[in-house]
Amino acid sequence: MKVRAILRSLLFSYAVTGIFLLLLAFLLFQFDLGEKPVSAGIVAVYILSCLLGGFMAGKIIRKDKYLWGILVGVFYYLLLITVSFAVKGKWDMSLMHAVTTFFMCLGGGALGGMLS
């Protein structure tokens, strides 16, 4: 049951990511946003997606909620890195960016779990 809950939460997180990224793309083309607002939007998408996935995992499992939120954040990050590597065919991220993204996903998932 816990594995299913994590997978459902992760799938939900990626669905939310897709919706938010489509919205961000629309805003980019509609208002001709610069690089900084788009980068900030992408960071917000990662955090919100992990937060909502952690929230969902916490609601489903109902025990040690923040730990399950952290787990959703970790798996979200791993899938994000894997997909990014598969699409680009190479590692295209600095170590500092990778670590920062990891902790954003981890923190978003933990916060979502705690809020559930």
Taking only the tens place, the pLDDT of each residue in 5-27 is: 999 999 999 999 999 999 999 99
Residues 6+ apart with CB under 8 A from 66: 54, 58, 110, 113, 114
In this predicted structure, what is the pLDDT of residue 1? 80
Instruction: Give yes or no for a contact between 52 and 4, defined as CB atoms under 8 angstroms apart.
Output: no
pLDDT at 110: 97
Buried b / exposed e over 104-114, threshold 16 CB at 10 Å, is bbbbbbbbbbe
Q: Does the pLDDT of residue 51 top 90, yes or no?
A: yes
